[in-house]
């Protein structure tokens, strides 16, 4: 069976198949753990490695505990492995809160600052080897030196990351700080690098593969989402900041003026959705980004966009819910509201990226579909994808024939029918000011001209038209990523795909066969393509990160699943580990 995903068209190596090492940097807010980790990831890319960094913080706005979770690899990676080989803690403040997010084993190495005493019991209980290093004291040997620079050097030395790419990153990072600060930083990193020599070489990563000629990117999922939106043609953004979607807006605020666009920060989510409805009605492709609570506030106006057939894109970077839930951590539990939340029968598009790279493609495709079909599109990203920083191969440039079907001035005095019942269901759309094309656009049901109507025949005709244009559209092979073969399949979506792909890779190395189907187009449903993709499959394992098994129940509602279908689901914020999925496959084989 041929692989059909975008990532594999760009890279011959599968995610999670190479050598890798996982490292966690932790400490209280202000210790610089995230900054040090970010520079290590960038340096790994310059050294021709791949890397992936997620971050974990508490519920506080500022301060508190923080951790950066990094996986360095010789091949692309889309998720963390089963455990962490190295934990470097600048202090122990509330580290026990990360115990389940940083699984350690007896083979792990824990490094702590001697000034902060022994490791907490929850860390010691893992059986990991503990080594105390005088991080603060080493930093003081360089006037102006900081412990996080020492820690950065320790990690680099421990995993075999050369100093040259690290120094290059420091030069960029401190470009506006002056030569003295840069020199101090390099010296401090070198001190840590030297200290790592005493820790042995068992955690060294093999040298990178032969460097590719293509450019490698270091980008977060939220930045990738913004880039995909620009590539798709989005030129206006209105939004209200909310964790973890704010980075989408921050990136687009800087990028939009360069392509003639603009971003407006508004007073709340109601204003955001209504402004982009207005902008799109006026002819400018528009987007907003939010998280679960914000999406709830936008629902009524999303219905307006459906009824008025106004294209727009809403990016929902999901977090732990309900209500304000766990704002800084991930979950895939907004699926139900994204699909079912609108009142009435309101056909719309729901899509989900399944990797950092795919955030670009999916958002671009969502914009294309929305503009082409004159329907709102919801893009379901999540905190895990959005705030993950990844080193990846430069994604291919993809161009869609995006075209909003525009009206022209009616001839011979005929009346413009904004909602003409066309065979495709897509009606030519006028922009304000077009001669002879005045019409009413609101949330009321209407006839073909747009005039409000409560007649049953008009309601039925417009309902059929709005449903038909989405149901009959050919979404090609982008609706899902499919790879592998055999009568066993794993069906998943979104950020869970990374762990599923790695588990499938392990399974195949052990001689097993398994297909992986990651669904990108969640609505409208694609039952015929689903059946074709899984033809011959007798067993399905559904994997998703929600307590209520929302994805599984959605599949049960619209797709024919084999009798032997199992579900592996858990709420956030813990991501799936590949071994969890392998254990499910093994237990199945044993029965």
How far, in Å, are 117, 332, 356 from residue 222 at the CA level? Answer: 38, 16, 8
The pLDDT of residue 98: 87
pLDDT grade for 12, boundaries at 50, 70 and 90:
very low
The model carries a pTM of 0.94
The Cα–Cα gap between 542 and 555 comes to: 9
**Tally of residues, the chain:** 591
- Residue 358's pLDDT is 97
Query: How would residue 258 be classed by pLDDT, with cut points 50, 70 and 90?
Result: very high
Q: Give the H/E segment covering residue 364.
A: helix 356-373
Q: What is the mean pLDDT of the chain?
A: 93
Q: How far apart are CA 86 and CA 196, in angstroms?
A: 12
The C-alpha atoms of residue 204 and residue 23 are separated, in whole angstroms, by 12
Rounded Cα–Cα distance for residues 181 and 563 (Å): 65
- Among 361, 335, 339, smallest CA distance to 549 is for 335
pLDDT at residue number 5: 37
Percent of the chain with pLDDT over 90: 86
pLDDT value at position 93?
84
Lowest mean pLDDT among 209-218, 340-349, 401-410, 423-432: 209-218
pLDDT band at 11 (very low <50, low <70, confident <90, very high): very low
- Tens-digit pLDDT profile for residues 434-470: 999 999 999 999 999 999 999 999 999 999 999 999 9
Rounded distance, CA 591 to CA 576, Å?
23
User: Helices (DSSP H) in 197-331: which residue ranges?
Assistant: 221-232, 246-255, 269-281, 292-308
Summarised one tens digit per residue, pLDDT across range 22-40 is 999 999 888 899 999 999 9
Report pLDDT for 63.
Answer: 63
Q: pLDDT tens, 116-152?
A: 988 899 999 999 999 999 999 999 999 999 999 999 9
Average pLDDT of the segment spanning 211-225:
86
DSSP state of 345: S
Q: What is the pLDDT of residues 68-113, one digit of tens each?
A: 999 999 999 989 999 999 999 999 988 888 889 999 999 999 999 9
pLDDT band at 62 (very low <50, low <70, confident <90, very high): low
Cis peptide before 568 (omega within 30 of 0): no
Sequence-separated contacts (24+) of 447-453 with Cβ below 8 Å: 447/419, 448/417, 448/418, 448/419, 448/420, 448/421, 449/415, 449/416, 449/417, 449/418, 449/419, 450/418, 450/419
The position carrying tokens 């360069």 is 258
Where is 237: in which H helix or E strand?
strand 236-239
Find the helix packing angle between 147-159 and 163-173, rounded to 10°.
150
> Is residue 528 pLDDT above 90, yes or no?
yes
């Amino acid at each position: 069976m041929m692989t059909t995903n975008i990532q594999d068209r760009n890279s011959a190596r599968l995610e999670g198949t190479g050598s890798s090492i996982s490292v966690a940097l932790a400490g209280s807010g202000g210790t610089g753990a995230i900054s040090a980790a970010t520079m290590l990831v960038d340096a790994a890319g310059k050294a021709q490695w791949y890397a992936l960094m997620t971050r974990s913080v508490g519920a506080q706005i500022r301060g508190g505990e923080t951790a950066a979770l990094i996986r360095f690899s010789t091949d692309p990676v889309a998720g963390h492995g089963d455990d962490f080989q190295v934990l470097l803690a600048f202090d122990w403040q509330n580290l026990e809160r990360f115990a389940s997010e940083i699984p350690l084993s007896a083979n792990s190495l824990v490094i702590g600052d001697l000034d902060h005493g022994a490791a907490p019991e929850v860390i010691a209980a893992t059986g990991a080897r503990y080594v105390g290093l005088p991080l603060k004291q080493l930093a003081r040997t360089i006037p102006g030196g900081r412990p996080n620079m020492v820690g950065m050097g320790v990690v680099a030395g421990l995993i075999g990351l050369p100093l040259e790419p690290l120094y290059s990153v420091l030069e960029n990072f401190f470009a506006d700080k002056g030569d003295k600060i840069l020199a101090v930083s390099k010296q401090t990193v070198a001190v840590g690098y030297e200290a790592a020599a005493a820790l042995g070489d068992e955690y060294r990563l093999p040298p990178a593969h032969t460097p590719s000629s293509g450019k490698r990117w270091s980008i977060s999922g939220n930045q990738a989402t913004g880039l995909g939106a620009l590539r798709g043609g989005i030129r206006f953004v209105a939004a209200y900041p909310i964790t973890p979607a704010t980075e989408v807006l921050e990136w687009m605020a800087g990028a939009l003026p360069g392509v003639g666009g603009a971003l407006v920060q508004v007073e709340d989510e109601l204003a955001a959705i209504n402004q982009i409805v207005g902008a799109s009605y006026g002819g400018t492709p528009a987007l907003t980004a939010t998280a679960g609570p914000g999406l709830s506030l936008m629902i009524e106006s999303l219905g307006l966009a459906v009824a008025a057939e106004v294209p727009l894109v809403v990016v929902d970077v999901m977090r732990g819910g309900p209500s304000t839930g766990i704002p800084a951590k991930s979950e895939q539990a907004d699926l139900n509201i994204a699909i079912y939340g609108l009142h009435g029968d309101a056909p719309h598009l729901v899509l989900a990226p399944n990797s950092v790279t795919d955030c670009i493609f999916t958002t671009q495709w969502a914009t294309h579909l929305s503009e082409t079909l004159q329907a709102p599109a919801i893009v379901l990203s999540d905190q895990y994808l959005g705030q993950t920083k990844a080193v990846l191969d430069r994604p291919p440039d993809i161009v869609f024939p995006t075209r909003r079907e525009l009206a022209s001035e009616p001839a011979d005095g005929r009346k413009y029918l904004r909602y003409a019942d066309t065979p495709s269901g897509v009606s030519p759309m006028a922009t304000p000011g077009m001669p002879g094309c005045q019409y009413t656009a609101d949330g009321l049901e209407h006839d073909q001209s747009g005039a409000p109507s409560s007649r049953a025949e008009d309601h039925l005709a417009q309902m059929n038209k709005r449903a038909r244009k989405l149901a009959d559209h050919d979404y090609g092979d982008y609706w899902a990523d499919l790879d592998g073969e055999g009568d066993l399949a794993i069906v998943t979506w979104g950020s869970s795909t990374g762990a599923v792909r790695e588990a499938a890779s392990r399974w195949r190395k052990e001689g097993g066969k398994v297909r992986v189907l990651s669904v990108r187009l969640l609505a409208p449903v694609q039952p015929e393509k689903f059946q074709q993709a899984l033809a011959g499959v007798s067993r399905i394992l559904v994997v998703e990160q929600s307590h209520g098994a929302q994805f599984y129940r959605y599949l049960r509602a619209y797709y024919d699943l084999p009798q032997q279908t199992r579900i592996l689901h858990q709420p956030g914020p813990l991501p799936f580990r590949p071994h969890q999925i392998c254990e499910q496959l093994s237990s199945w084989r044993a029965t």
